Amino acid sequence: MRLCYLIGYPVDHSLSAVMHNTAFQELSLGFRYELRSVSPETLEAFVSHDLKATEVRGANVTIPYKVSLVKHMDEVDALAARIGAVNTVVNDDGWLKGYNTDGLGALRALEEAFGDLHGAKVVILGAGGAAKAIGYHLSIVARELIILNRTLSNASELVEGIARYSECRASLSAHLLNRGCLKEVLKDADIVINATPLGMSPNVGETPISSDLLRPGFLVFDIVYNPMRTRLLKEAEKAGAKTLDGVSMLVYQGVESFKIWTGREAPEDLMRRAAVKALGADLG
């Protein structure tokens, strides 16, 4: 039996185990996926010992370790190195290689919901690992990319990091995540992405955008998937905006991780159904 983990702190909200174990069973693979809540004090020891164990094939990485885990890898894939964050790890005989599938998952979900992203003005809330991945991929296709974060220096650092690469085509800027800045940048935005944990279970009453700033005419994408319909999405829908929940990104990034670990194509539809069922929702 080969093990795959989700490493984070906390991880109780995650649907990754349900999703991946369903896929492993469907393809009769000798794999099992387990959640591992790892405290910051024990992270280095976990990575250097537990993650390198013979029976471990790899791991997914979630809040708050997507950025900090980079330095603990023996090798980092070129895309993950550009992004500066890791969400997937492979263990090859004790050699840990980090990858990033978050941006690929988000981009696919956005293209399905919005269409052609070329020429779009995109606002991203947050500057953590997920924002880094999404921001990098969008900078290649979007017209304008605006990063808002409660700590301005982190938003500025993200913008500077993306701007280094020749493939970046978007106009970039960083701002504080506050009402005034939000009001200004949302006036003519095409896409708004919540890449913060605000609204995630159990704190379902939180939202990064007050309802009076929401309007028809743009797509609101919340990468939080538990709950599937966050307060932000409910209020955006009520305001007449188009919405995209975080389940598609969860599934699509998981599909890419699955391929990396197993070398097999993932049963995508089955993974989606398992995730939605676990949320108590209905695919319709």
Q: Of these residues, 52, 66, 121, 187, which one is catalytic?
A: 66
Rg of the chain on CA atoms, in Å: 18
SS3 assignment for the chain: CEEEEEEECCCCCCCHHHHHHHHHHHCCCCEEEEEEECCHHHHHHHHHCHHHCCCEEEEEECCCCCCHHHHHCCEECHHHHHHCCCCEEEEECCEEEEECCHHHHHHHHHHHHHCCCCCCEEEEECCCHHHHHHHHHHHHHCCEEEEEECCHHHHHHHHHHHHCCCCCCCEEEEEECCHHHHHHHCCCCCEEEECCCCCCCCCCCCCCCCHHHCCCCCEEEECCCCCCCCHHHHHHHHCCCEEECCHHHHHHHHHHHHHHHHCCCCCHHHHHHHHHHHCCCCCC
Active site residue 183: no
Which residue type does 254 have? G
Residue positions annotated with a catalytic role: 66
